Structure 1
Amino acid sequence: MTAYALGNLSPEPVLNEEVFTYLERVQATLDPYGGRFLVHGAPAREVPEGTWPGTLVIIAFPTYENARAWYASDAYQALIPLRTRHVEGDILLIDGVPEGYDPATTAAALRTAAAG
């Protein structure tokens, strides 16, 4: 099942040599784990509900284990300070839904659980 690394990053990063180096090297840390960018630092084009002050990064991995292994890898851990010293944000790792996922099935299970 596909898993994702999501980043909600500051809308005003400090762009400098460390950030450029991070950007130049990050793909090489993803490659061994099958990671690929789906969205990379794009500001929201439209926010129809709520607020979204930052920029979004979405990286897909073949499995959650691949996502965790990438984040914990020595190669990526060495790059993290190049980003975090200049770009604030929140990062999370999350499972996607399986093929054929039906939200109505989830609603039925939640309804049953709520009824006690």
Structure 2
Amino acid sequence: MTAYIVFTREATTDQTELDAYGQAVAASFAGHPLKILAAYGAQEVLEGTPPEGVVILEFPTMEAARAWYDSPAYQEVVKHRWKGSSYRVVIVQGT
């Protein structure tokens, strides 16, 4: 069943680290079946505190989503995101 990883950037703390993440993250996609559905597009907040940005990735299964997230390639890159920002990240199964 389809799964989605939703990244919600709450706050930027170090733009240099966030830029390093942005430049390197695409390489971590190699060999993983994913589709970028949204990436920092225009938002209309209906409820709650507005995030700085939202990214939604689609995967064929929860296992495929987790395989990418846990991959050595992504785990090397994500260190920059952790140093440069505060995010909320969830994997949600589609219906």
User: Is the structural similarity TM-score above 0.5?
Assistant: yes
- In the alignment of these two chains, the number of paired residues is 94
Higher relative contact order (CA 8 A, sep 6+): 2
Q: C-alpha distance in 1, partners of 2:14/2:42?
A: 16
Residue aligned with 1:93, SS: strand
> 2:39 touches 2:56 (CA, 8 Å); kept in 1?
yes
Percent identical among aligned pairs is 31
Given the alignment of the two structures, is residue 23 of structure 1 paired with residue 22 of structure 2, yes or no? yes
1:1-116 equivalences under 5 Å are 1-12=1-12, 14-16=14-16, 18-42=17-41, 44=43, 46-48=44-46, 50-54=47-51, 55-97=53-95
Greater helix proportion:
1
- Structure having the higher Rg: 1
Query: Normalising by the residue count of structure 1, what TM-score does the alignment of the two structures yield?
Result: 0.71
Q: What is the RMSD of the two structures over their aligned residues, measured on CA atoms? A: 1.8
Q: Which runs of 4+ in 1 moved over 4 A?
A: none
Query: Normalising by the residue count of structure 2, what TM-score does the alignment of the two structures yield?
Result: 0.84
Gaps of 5+ in 1: 98-116
